[in-house]
């Protein structure tokens, strides 16, 4: 498969492609990510005091309330900043090069969101046995919506900058094989979604779904030469899963509705495979759309 747009996207990473730089860069990313989390916790401590901080940290662990869920999304600030620091410090290039050409990034982000909105709207018409129930009052949901959208933009952007930006670019600058620069970041992305304490025996299936999404997002990045399409794909997916209909349990605090099923229920497995099919179909449509526009 030819990825002609990928070469200029990777070009800025070719000046400093050494593996030791990537390793140190990832250590820097981890450190900045941890610092970002510490800053969020520190802000909570200053604003709420010791007792209040303990209560809000417990709220973040459960993430079944809107403010707690927003705070969880805020912790991704360090993951977004970390790769920018790493490319500046160890690869002698601008953080802007992580995104690709900005006009193309913005255009493909919007195209991917529109395609996802159409595809996901159709997917809701498929019959299933899941019952959904109101979670937040509509007025409360609307009051949180602007910050929630910013939070999901941050969370999905942080993951795209790290996995499809920094790692994909630097590995592609060092290795020609897509198995290394496309598959390896996707495997890492998938493994970080492994939460057996939340998902039970379904954890491996959700990891497979995350790995599939990672591969498709990597392909979109390679096809377009920017993060725009993958980021828009990721953003739209998480808006539906976090803000529209969430599974009962963690990260349901900002959802307008919740499904009467949790991530650990065995009955969710057919839905995981249905979601994977929808993801592939949506990827095909986005791929066609970004090639046309």
Is residue 1 situated within a structural domain? no
Residue 129 lies in a domain: yes
Whether the model pTM is above 0.85? yes
In contact, 131 and 248? CB cutoff 8 Å? no
Q: Is 242 within a domain?
A: yes
The distance of Cα 212 from the centroid of its chain, to the nearest Å, equals 13
* Residue 251: φ, ψ to 5°: 65, 25
Residue 196 and residue 218: Cα distance in Å, rounded? 26
Question: Is position 79 within any domain?
Answer: yes
Q: Let me know if residue 271 belongs to a domain.
A: yes
Which own/partner contact pairs does 237-242 have at CB distance under 8 Å and 24+ positions apart?
A: 237/116, 237/213, 237/279, 238/152, 238/155, 238/156, 239/149, 239/152, 240/120, 242/69, 242/148, 242/152
pLDDT in tens, the chain (293 residues): 679 999 999 999 999 999 999 999 999 999 999 999 999 999 999 988 888 888 888 888 878 889 999 999 999 999 999 999 999 999 999 999 999 999 999 999 999 999 999 998 887 777 667 788 999 999 999 999 999 999 999 999 999 999 999 999 999 999 999 999 999 999 999 999 999 988 999 999 999 999 999 999 999 999 999 999 999 999 999 999 999 999 888 889 999 999 888 888 888 898 899 899 999 999 999 999 998 88
Domain count, the chain: 1
CA atoms of 180 and 57, how far apart (whole Å): 38
Is 258 in contact with 245 (CB distance < 8 Å)? yes
Report whether 242 contacts 255 (CB < 8 A).
yes
The whole domain housing 243 covers 6-292
**Nearest to residue 78, comparing CAs of 42, 113, 14, 31?**
31
């Amino acid at each position: 498969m030819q990825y002609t747009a990928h070469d200029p996207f990777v070009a800025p990473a070719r000046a400093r492609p050494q593996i030791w730089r990537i390793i140190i860069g990832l250590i820097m990313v981890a450190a900045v990510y941890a610092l970002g989390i510490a800053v969020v916790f520190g802000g909570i401590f200053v604003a709420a005091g010791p007792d209040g901080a303990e209560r809000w940290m417990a709220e973040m662990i459960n993430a079944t309330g809107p403010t707690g869920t927003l705070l969880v999304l805020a912790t991704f600030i360090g993951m977004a900043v970390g790769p920018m620091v790493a490319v500046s410090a160890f690869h002698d290039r601008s953080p802007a090069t992580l995104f690709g050409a900005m006009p193309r990034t913005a255009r493909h982000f919007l195209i991917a969101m529109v395609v996802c909105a159409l595809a996901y709207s159709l997917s809701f018409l498929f019959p299933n046995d899941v019952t959904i129930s109101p979670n937040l009052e509509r007025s409360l949901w609307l009051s949180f919506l602007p910050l929630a959208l910013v939070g999901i933009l941050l969370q999905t952007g942080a993951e795209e900058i790290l996995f499809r930006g920094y790692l994909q670019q630097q590995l592609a600058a060092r290795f020609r094989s897509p198995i290394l620069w496309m598959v390896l970041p996707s495997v890492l992305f998938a493994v970080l979604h492994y939460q057996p304490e939340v998902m039970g025996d379904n954890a491996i299936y959700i990891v497979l779904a995350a790995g599939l999404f990672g591969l498709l997002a990597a392909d979109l990045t390679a096809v377009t030469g920017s993060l725009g399409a993958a980021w828009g794909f990721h953003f739209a997916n998480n808006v539906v899963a976090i803000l529209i209909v969430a599974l009962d349990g963690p990260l349901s605090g900002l959802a307008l509705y919740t499904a009467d099923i949790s991530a650990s229920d065995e009955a969710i497995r057919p839905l995981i495979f249905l979601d994977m099919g929808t993801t592939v179909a949506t990827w095909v449509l986005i791929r066609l759309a970004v090639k046309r526009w």
